[in-house]
Amino acid sequence: MDSSAPSVIIIGGGPGGYEAALTAAAAGARVTLVEEIGLGGASVLTDCVPSKALITTAEFKARFEFAEKMGVEFSEDDGDPATHEPLLEGVEAHIDLAGANRRVMDLAAAQSRDIRAALEEEGVRVLDGRGRLLAKDTVEVTAADGSTQTVQAQTVLLSTGASPRVLPSAQPDGERILTWQQIWGLTELPEKMIVVGSGVTGTEFAHAYLGLGCEVVLVSSRDRVLPGEDADAAECLEEVFRDRGMQVMNGSRAESVERRGDEVVVTLTDGRTVTGSHCIMAVGSVPNTDDLGLEEVGVATSDSGHILADKVSRTSVRGIYAAGDCTAVMPLASVAAMQGRIAMSHALGEAVQPLRLGAVSSNIFTDPEVATVGVGQKELREGAQGINEIMLPLAPNPRAKMRNVHHGFVKLFATQGADVVVGGVVVAPSASELIYSIALAVQHRLTVDQVAQTFTVYPSMSGSIAEAARRLHTRED
Ligand SMILES: Cc1cc2nc3c(=O)[nH]c(=O)nc-3n(C[C@H](O)[C@H](O)[C@H](O)COP(=O)(O)OP(=O)(O)OC[C@H]3O[C@@H](n4cnc5c(N)ncnc54)[C@H](O)[C@@H]3O)c2cc1C
Ligand SMILES: NC(=O)c1ccc[n+]([C@@H]2O[C@H](COP(=O)([O-])OP(=O)(O)OC[C@H]3O[C@@H](n4cnc5c(N)ncnc54)[C@H](O)[C@@H]3O)[C@@H](O)[C@H]2O)c1
């Protein structure tokens, strides 16, 4: 490695950190990455990847239970179709949670190994340990055995992520009162899971455990689930949850959670109590910015402890950048990765496009999924003017009928006059895939006509996106 090449040190090996490391190494920099728990970060090891893998198991189970209604029978093949005895009539599938969690953790570990291999192939030096700023260009790394070393670099990237918020009156015990990072060791399916918090995290885990076969109570402090999301999408999901037997308790703030033998008792602020066998606390996150040396070096943070970073990921200290959940920008793996790449391009003098949050797409992995991109109800509520909106239910879509989809819709937002697509919501199975066509339209400022005139497959769910665009064009308002 050329010793005159620019040097970079990155603290934190989640999507923000490892994507930055790959970008910087590809640009010819000498890169050191310091990571404490494992490459891939919380995203790969405990949060994003494991939660989606567990949800996939729950959804797989649902398919077996639904098979009969779709006309599928399972039988022993004795060669004579007339005498086949259905084996699984009225079947109920059961979950081996130990096996499911093992698969999830194996998958996460494999992805972490892949990331290490990719980094090493690019020549990134990985140091296992905890990093702390000693000066604007110096990081002290403490290994698990307590030994320390210092590393100097011209550029520093902080990408230390965030951790589950813990309420003082609801201390996780790791057995029955759990943060979402502690559930992966469960070996038996909880009888009754109480999920506290109905943001995206709580909603996804409530969906997952309901699908796995638990009784689920979702304790939501707000007047509906997913308070930050499209209200129609949240209402649709809440209806589906209730239809499937979930108890959704809106307007219910947890005051405390305590363990009583084999039970957990959640006491609400109005005095009511909810009893279950287990409880997941999903009441938000706090940035991992304590004890990073920020104050000593002068890196500015918000009152919540998030590092203040601009659209090219610069902090208040020249040469120090920040990316991901430790900043106050959208807490998504995709955004963390983009912030990390932008930081490195900026630091190394490459062409750089500032972060554009208007075209970020995201998805809530429930059934149906809820995917959004760009301008939405929130922006309209906050006073965005001159936007037309259309909502098209999916039920009449022929592909939806075949797939037995009764819930869900497509929503498009476009500017009045110019008819440029600026946002969309899809509530449907595989909405995470369907949203990409709307994201392309938003990113490249396509008009509703351009979307409407693009061929879609017949029959397909994406036909509803083109149809929504067609109808949005012909609206008078
Ligand atoms: C349950 C859940 C599900 C999610 N699902 C999705 C999803 O489906 N899609 C999506 O886009 N986003 C999802 N997110 C959000 C996503 O996980 C985060 O936005 C993403 O992890 C942020 O990446 P990051 O690199 O900032 O931090 P992290 O992934 O948290 O990585 C930070 C790393 O830094 C390390 N670290 C911290 N301090 C130090 C230190 N001093 N020295 C060395 N190492 C340190 C940590 O050990 C950690 O490994 C989900 C979040 C949760 C909680
Ligand atoms: N699929 C995904 O992409 C995905 C999944 C999970 C998280 N995330 C990211 O993480 C972000 C944060 O989501 P989150 O759900 O972890 O946190 P959040 O802060 O958005 O939600 C926490 C919820 O808990 C509620 N709450 C707080 N205290 C409570 C109490 N005592 N009793 C009952 N409810 C209480 C809050 O009102 C809030 O609605 C999301 O906005 C998203 O960007 C993404």
DSSP string, 100-153: HHHHHHHHHHHHHHHHHHHHHHTTPEEEESEEEEEETTEEEEE-TTS-EEEEE-
Task: Tell me how many degrees the CA angle 183-191-205 measures, rounded to the nearest 5.
Answer: 40
Ligand 1 atom at minimum distance from 46 CA: 1
Q: Where along the chain do its domains lie?
A: 7-45+103-164+286-355, 177-283, 359-474
308 within 8 A of 328, measured Cβ to Cβ = yes
- Which residue's CA is minimally distant from atom 5 of ligand 1? 48
Helices 48-67 and 97-121, interaxial angle, to 10°?
140
Q: Which residue has the tokens 């690019």?
A: 122
Q: Provide, rounded to the nearest whole percent, the portion of the chain with pLDDT above 90.
A: 88
pLDDT of residue 147: 97
Residue 156 CA from chain centroid, whole number: 26
- Separation of CA 221 and ligand 2 centre (Å): 11
Which stretches of 212-348 are assigned E, i.e. beta strand? Answer: 215-219, 247-249, 254-260, 263-268, 273-276, 278-281, 285-287, 320-322
Q: Taking the chain, what is the end-to-end CA distance rounded to the nearest angstrom?
A: 62
For a mutational test of ligand 2's pocket, the pick from 166, 221, 361, i.e. the residue with the most ligand atoms closer than 8 A to its C-beta, is 221
Topology (CATH) of 177-283: FAD/NAD(P)-binding domain (3.50.50)
Per DSSP, helices labelled H in 298-397 are: 333-347, 377-381
**Do 177-283 and 359-474 share a fold?**
no
Ligand 1 contacts (CB < 6 A) are 11-17, 34-37, 41-43, 47-48, 51-52, 130-131, 159-161, 180, 201, 288, 292, 324-325, 331-334, 336
Q: What does pLDDT average to over the chain?
A: 94
CATH of 359-474, one of 3.30.390.30, 3.40.50.10470, 3.20.20.60, 3.40.50.300: 3.30.390.30
Indicate whether residue 254 lines ligand 2 (CB < 6 A).
yes
* Interatomic CA distance for residues 252 and 269, integer angstroms: 7
Provide ipTM, 2 decimals.
0.99
Tell me the ligand closest to 179's alpha carbon. 1
pLDDT digit string, tens, across residues 17-44: 999 999 999 999 999 999 999 999 999 9
- Known binding-site residues for FAD equal 52, 131, 325
* Interatomic CA distance for residues 133 and 97, integer angstroms: 41
For a mutational test of ligand 1's pocket, the pick from 10, 43, 329, i.e. the residue with the most ligand atoms closer than 8 A to its C-beta, is 43
pTM above 0.90, yes or no: yes
pLDDT digit string, tens, across residues 72-127: 877 766 666 565 555 556 667 889 999 999 999 999 999 999 999 999 999 999 99
Reported CATH class of domain 7-45+103-164+286-355: alpha beta
